[in-house]
Amino acid sequence: MASLALPGSRRGSCLLLCGARVNRTCLEGYECKSNGCGSECYMSANYNQPDNCPPFACDLHCPLGYYRDELKCDQCKCDYSILG
């Protein structure tokens, strides 16, 4: 069976994790966008952590966004709260 993906194209999971069809909105600072097959939450281009937070860097892929602590600082672990 031939693959329908174009060479060099990027395709994510085919799950609809956010959006109107599943009645689920992303966390503040994130936007629901296509991942090439389904949809997931991506950090908004203009999002900045609050001033009191340390710089954020994380290699973990979190399709619904990162967990935020009590100070609203992103942590390097996934937040699945919009699913529940």
The two tokens of residue 4 are: 């329908």
CA distance 72 to 43: 14
Range of the domain at 61: 20-44+57-83
Q: How many domains does the chain have?
A: 1
Is 7 part of a structural domain of the chain? no
**Which segments of 4-75 does DSSP mark as H helices, in order?**
none
Residue 2 lies in a domain: no
Per-residue pLDDT of the chain (84 residues; tens, 9 = 90+): 444 444 455 556 899 999 999 999 999 999 999 999 999 999 999 988 999 999 999 999 999 999 999 999 999 999 999 887
pTM to 2 decimal places: 0.77
In whole angstroms, how far apart are CA 34 and each of 13, 27, 42, 44, 57?
10, 16, 9, 13, 23
Asked whether residue 71 is assigned to any structural domain, the reply reads yes
